[in-house]
Structure 1
Amino acid sequence: MIDLRSDTVTRPGRAMLEEMMAAPVGDDVYGDDPTVNELQRYAAELSGKEAALFLPTGTQANLVALLSHCERGEEYIVGQGAHNYLYEAGGAAVLGSIQPQPIDAAADGTLPLDKVAAKIKADDIHFARTKLLSLENTHNGKVLPRDYLKQAWEFTRERGLSLHVDGARIFNAIVEYGCDLSAIAQYCDSFTICLSKGLGTPVGSLLVGDKAYITRANRWRKMTGGGMRQAGILAAAGLYALKHNVARLKEDHENAAWLAAQLQEIGADVMRHDTNMLFVRVGEPAAALGAFMRERDVLINASPVVRLVTHLDVNRQQLTEVVRHWQAFLQR
């Protein structure tokens, strides 16, 4: 199957599996798993931060991040379409009693700082305390401008807010910036990395910040059920991914751009492409297109606007097949 639904569908390759099978392990709840410890140390070193924490999922990493920044009855400002507001089952509100204050993102994925300022609550007993600004990089494939990240950092320092970045695909942004992770991580208090998206591991995410913050996060990880035992088998995949699968993300970006151009050429309504994502307006025939492609061993999310995501398990030859099938559908 050629699966373009997401970059979460990748499977570990032989080299990654060999690292996983050979990983020394221990009980991570006791802090005894050497491979988990090395992954956390390596991630902190890459980012220029003091510490990192390995968690099972990106949703749990974002939840623990918010719980570690905000107390009950406090508030985080976040984008209307942000993953940790819209797509994580309301976890911060349900489990943490943390109030989200969503605002509309700008076309480039940023949260306009004047709009953020307007939503910061006065110190008044009627209001939840505004504690945190949460950004997402990349956002629907869009890389946030580097100067905006610096401005947001300075803004939160002036306003007494913390700044968290949902960096599920932060390495896609890093590849586009052409810089080290630390050059971007300096502009936030905490951020997440999803290892099981474009980086190709089977499971796992990281939360990165200073030592005191990660100490709080470790308690929340345990409370929310994220304490794992011999987790080094999984952490080894993360170490392999960080060392071998970052630079190759550029290939995914190039494939997405190529696919967008080819689909436009055959008459598909490509709305935009950014990093490893492209969005195609299909409209009413979406269900028929989805079924047509599935019959030809191509998986897409069939909706009026189809998001196609390139990743390490899809090559240019396979994408050529996708274009051929799409053209056949349009010609029906």
Structure 2
Amino acid sequence: MTDQPTAGNPPSVTAVIKFLKAAGFQHSRYTEAMRDDSGSGAKARSYSGGQVVVHWNEGDYDYRKRMGQLGITEPRDMPQHPDARTYAQEYAEALAPRYTVEISNGTDVYVTARETLPARPPGVPRAVSVRKALKAADVQHESVSAVDQPDHTRVAIRDEIALGPVRDALTAEGWIFEEFETLQHYGIKITGSTPDRPARLRKLRARREARAIELAGRAAVAKVEEGIRQTKAAEFLAAAAAEEVPQPQEPASAPEGLEVPLDQDKPVPYAYSPSGVRYEPGMRATLRTRDGFWAHGVVEAVYLAAHTRAPHMRFMADAYQVAPRRRAPKYMDNKPGKRGPAPAHTTPWEIPLDNKDLSPERFA
């Protein structure tokens, strides 16, 4: 049944900005404007008569960049930003279903309460349902947001790569939608549901259940394989503790037939890390250094350390590259730097195999 029309709420600066952010628009933040473009975005202020005024604010970073591109030295000579009017129109379009809006001077949007909100048609999903559907479809949640409008649900997609998966997910759910574009994101308005939505949902659930069974099977196989690797590593460590690890054919630290003293390293042909990775001379390895680099090189030797008999390896780095951050900020690329040769003064690395930053050679 169609929802009955109701009166709109009076606007506030907090409510307006919160809605615009959920609708995909950037909020102007002065504290960051000097070093990046996050200072540019929607800015709201209270006005007389219970109104809120919204306009697009150009941050200092973008302002000075534009000034340099135009070759202007005096701020009084700067023209208005060419996108300011377009932003005002986009803000007005997004706010109109829930507030009364009026554009003044082409750039200021005056927002007041609506006497009557538009009725919500039947079949329009709530934003929380849309978010759940997108999550179930494995759509990138960082680049997609959804917000309720009185007569539809608005979805904002900030990454073009996610646009196709969002379309597919909404179509599979049986929702009717239309697309549009803004200066900052792609938009979708969900306005209803298809008549065959129940049948679509049954098919979608069956497909997801089959996928869940397949993933569970893969996880079980991976768990068994990991158990095998752990067992091999434990067996090796136990043999090493009992001095049963076979000696290399040409031990460098002791004559034929003599044991290596406990105060000397004991060479071995191979060794396992606690995670089950086998390391041996000749293979290539990568170490993530504390200063944020990947060091790549050939393993020169594997040995049991003096006294502790813990497995170690020695390798000489022949290549370096900037390592990606362990946790990158949202919406930021997290790719490693370009690989380059190691410095001439590089010395061999002596690394215990239980070092969590050690791995077979990484390629990215």
Pick the structure with more helix per residue: 1
- TM-score range for the pair, normalised by the shorter chain length: under 0.3
Q: Given the two structures, how large is their TM-score scaled by the length of structure 2?
A: 0.25
Pick the structure with more strand per residue: 2
Name which structure has the greater RCO, CA cutoff 8 Å, separation 6+.
1
Q: Given the two structures, how large is their TM-score scaled by the length of structure 1?
A: 0.27
